Structure 1
Amino acid sequence: MSDETAPASVPEWGGDRRQGDRRGGFRDRRRPPPPWRRPWALIAYGAVGTLALLLVLLTALRQRREPVPVVSEGASATAGGAPAAGPPVPVEPGPAEAAYSAADFERLIAEGDAAVGRRVRAVLLCEPIVPIALRPREPAPRQLAALADSAGRVPGARCRWAQEGDMPGEEFLLVVPPSLAEAFARSPTVRVQFVERRRVHAELIWLGRLPALSLRTVGILDRVLR
């Protein structure tokens, strides 16, 4: 009797081992991409984006070439012309009131309509006279409307209410009648904060904040003192 044990039989798999592979045929089962992901769609996206960019650039160039209408300071976008004249401001008789400090300026502002028409003496640090447009839909005091030209502009200088030591204070718009323009121009020139201004010792008629001049604080020059 032989001691050798017969080897275990090896099962035969038979057939193709890939028959049971679930991954088989993966390439055959893949679906085609949707229309918006196909090559022709991607090309169309690029063409549309390029066209939109060209339209934006052409519009920007056209806007740069077109002239921009310039509107005078304080003017409305509507048609200008002679301003509407309101009632005259009653001017107080008697000597002018001294208002040489920032506190005096604030007091006049605080008094509101009660200070309108008052004669005031002050030192102003002014820029050159330029035409300033009145708002056409806002009535202006008759004294102010009488100084307007055919385009509804008055000659005015942007000023600062001088404080002690000629330090510039609050903003103030001084309307200069043509008869006083030469006296205004003879006022000495000083340099304040690297800007040349005229130091005008003025006697003026206080008008306060005027809607016709965009609520600026305004006065009409009545006399140049020195």
Structure 2
Amino acid sequence: MAKKKMETTVAIVDNNSTMNPPADVYSKEMITELNSHVKIIRSEMNKIEGSFSKIAFNLYWINENGAFKALGYKDVYSFAKAEFGIARGTANNFINVVERFGKRIDGHISEPIADEYKTYKSSQLIVMLGMDEKDLEKINSDMSVREMKKVKKGETEQSEGRHNNSSSDSSSDDNTVDVESKEINRTVMITFKSLDDYLKHRDSLENMISRNFTAAKKAGKEYKIEVAYTW
């Protein structure tokens, strides 16, 4: 069994670097050292995942309590950027992951990530932010980020297909009136498939809306929140 594992490890190294000599020239000492380095990398990668959760929950607390003001910052984004070099989008992901997947005790968000999501990596949780409960049921922590995006993309393509069909029907109407076109940008913040789903994430939705309106006002942009039914 130990020999089989050693051969597998060598094959992985050989396949990823054309600069390596054939596998049969590796000594047992080299294989032992290689496995040691692999073990260290895996250990440190686990620490990275743990760090993501710690950063996310602490940043969430600072945002929720407006504690950034104590250091003279106008919002959590300027605080995160100046103090830690964290970009706005990354800070947003940290906070949204906590709001969506953090454990809830008596209606309040608390560390750590909820049990049903604790096996997922940070990159997976970020992709999952754009999924509704139905899509979340289709995925698991063994899937790659690319596979998850395909699940998410499938829902988007279906929605776009319905929209395109509707547009085609409208354009064929003889009574269509030409109007001045205006570019409109839309982003799906969250999707609910049932009343229970909505009630479960209602607080998170309100926080997202409030944060986006605040950011828009400071950026001099006009944001509108639309509520739409899809069937």
Identify whether the pair has TM-score above 0.5, normalized to the shorter chain. Answer: no
TM-score (norm 2): 0.22
The structure with the larger Rg is 1
Bigger strand fraction? 1
TM-score (norm 1): 0.22
